[in-house]
Structure 1
Amino acid sequence: MTLQTLRHGWVLTVRDLKHWQREPWAPVIGIAFSVMLLLMFGYLFGGAIDLPGGGGYLPYLLPGMFTLTMLFGIESTMGAITEDTRRGITDRLRSMPISAVGVPLGRTAADLMNSVVQLAVLMAGGLAIGWRVDGSIGSALLAAALLLWLRLAVLWVGVYLGLAIRSEGALIAVQVLVWPFGFLSNIFVAPETMPGWLGFLAGWNPVSATAAACRELFGNPLGTTGGVLAEHAVALAFAWPALLLAVFVPLSARAYRNLSR
């Protein structure tokens, strides 16, 4: 990625940030929704589930909720890209000498900055209801970085879908499908408690890798007594988003170039 592409991306990032400054309701509502989920699941399930390997359920749940919130970025980014395309903004940008990666890069950078604020608010809410970090400061910072790493990959998936599938029905379908993809993971319950085939799918879900890595780094209960998530969670939490980025960044650039075809 060239310096010029990064400069173009930064200009478009500032554009999106200024738009939110004028109309802040979308990011504010997104943060409020995430806090509501955190409080709802934290208090509903806080003491109701036993974990393999022992430990309290609330400290197990919170890293999973942080991860689930990172997954929710896909539909908001897809919706913003679709709206810009529908209104002709993307066509005007394409008429300028801007890299095919520059425009989606600006969108993802702005969304990622919003995600940093969102994650900080969620962690503060978690601390307020009793969640604690028992690992080192360095490990906690690495956990936060892995959460944002997953978010970045999810945002690029949203960019590609917004460029490639520009119908309102597709956006609704993605919003619906995000939930089962998130639930088919270790966010709420340990894969060891699921039927064998379902636990296998949950164990290889990228969301599960990030959630398990964050639990390990935060010093929270792992909810597992063995297997790939117990032994290689941090490596998988880095590898899965890297794979998604390797696939969807080039796909997004190609979809952007082919918009008029």
Structure 2
Amino acid sequence: MTVTAQKPQSTSDRPKIRPTNIAQQSWIMVKRNMIHTKRMPEMLSDVTVQPIMFVLLFAFVFGASIATGGSASYREFLLPGIQAQTIVFTAFVVASGITADVEKGIIDRFRSLPIRRSAVLIGRSIASLLHSSIGVVVMAVTGLAIGWRIRGGVLDAVLAFVLILVFGFSMIWFGILIGSVMRSVEAVNGVMFTVLFPITFLANTFAPTEPMPHWLRVIAEWNPVSSLAQAMRELWGNGGPAPASAQLPLHHPVLATILWSLALTAVFAPVALYAYRRRTAG
């Protein structure tokens, strides 16, 4: 029996590894996450089916029982609130995705590649913003179908959508923190529902804050979600300015939303990066 020795592959036959920068690496991660969503379209249910369900449920079931106390209809009062709730849940998407990648060993595989660790986070963050933006568009179309209208100027309307993305970016860091600390997707679900649902309901998202007890109204009006919702209502022309008795953030909602976004990012970003590095350290 003769044994034929195989000639070892020369280095010239191997595919060349081209150096890439952080932007290219991050974009690859974005495409990876979007392809994952394309292959599992049921992952879009939280930004397609659920927003439509919330809009129709509150507009037709609860809308007749809730007085807005202003010139705008409840449907115009409602849409900015649901938009704010949807972008807050961007943190949920990020946290679940990071935890799932760590559980499945995907992060370990990424560490063996010639890419920066931060590219994984940037790609995940951008993909999550795109994911949540689908929900914003779906709700806007649904709102237009049931009578919601943008009554402000074009620049004000664009600024409102920009504020949504800016606030969503700050919530991403909270999601990275939770996704890096929690050990399972089930734990992420429990923590995020426990934290995010009270934040989005204890605000002016679905009902005015004026009828609340004074101490509860103060908490609700200092809630950054209230500032975001009030800013969108004013920019879209879906209601007038806050009443004189409202807390300071609601009298300057656009500025308050920007400041809240910067503050949340400054608080959560360093802690989230530390937790992520510690979780993925080999």
- TM-score of the aligned structures, taking structure 2 as reference length: 0.85
Residue equivalent to 2:189: 171
**Are the counterparts in 2 of residues 66 and 119 from structure 1 also a CA contact under 8 Å?**
yes
Residue equivalent to 2:79: 62
**Are the counterparts in 2 of residues 100 and 254 from structure 1 also a CA contact under 8 Å?**
no
Matched, 1:231 2:251: yes
Matched, 1:88 2:105: yes
User: Relative to 1, partners in 2 of residues 1:33 and 1:162: Cα closer, same or farther, differing over 3 Å?
Assistant: same
Q: 1:155 aligns with which of 172, 177, 186?
A: 172
Structure 1: which 5+ runs fail to align? Answer: none
Q: CA offsets, 1:16-62, max 9 Å, x none?
A: 11111222210145321111111111112323222344432221111
Using the aligned pairs only, state the percent identity.
35
Residue correspondences, number: 259
With 34-43 and 208-217 compared, the bigger mean Cα shift is at 34-43
Aligned pairs for 1:33-182 within 5 A? 33-167=50-184, 168-182=186-200
With 136-145 and 167-176 compared, the bigger mean Cα shift is at 167-176
Q: CA RMSD in A?
A: 1.9
Q: CA deviation at 1:230?
A: 3.9
Q: CA offsets, 1:182-224, max 9 Å, x none?
A: 1110111222221111111111111111000000000011473
Return structure 1 stretches of 4+ with deviation > 4 angstroms. none
Matched, 1:199 2:217: yes
With 38-47 and 213-222 compared, the bigger mean Cα shift is at 38-47
**Are the counterparts in 2 of residues 64 and 186 from structure 1 also a CA contact under 8 Å?**
yes
**Are the counterparts in 1 of residues 47 and 134 from structure 2 also a CA contact under 8 Å?**
no
Matched, 1:211 2:226: no
Q: Per the alignment, in what secondary structure is the counterpart of residue 113 of structure 1?
A: helix
User: Relative to 1, partners in 2 of residues 1:110 and 1:135: Cα closer, same or farther, differing over 3 Å?
Assistant: same
Q: CA deviation at 1:253?
A: 2.1
Residue equivalent to 2:5: none
Structure of higher RCO (CA pairs closer than 8 Å, 6+ residues apart) = 1
Structure of higher CA gyration radius: 2
With 158-167 and 138-147 compared, the bigger mean Cα shift is at 158-167
Distance 2:73 2:91 in 1: 31
**Are the counterparts in 2 of residues 163 and 255 from structure 1 also a CA contact under 8 Å?**
yes
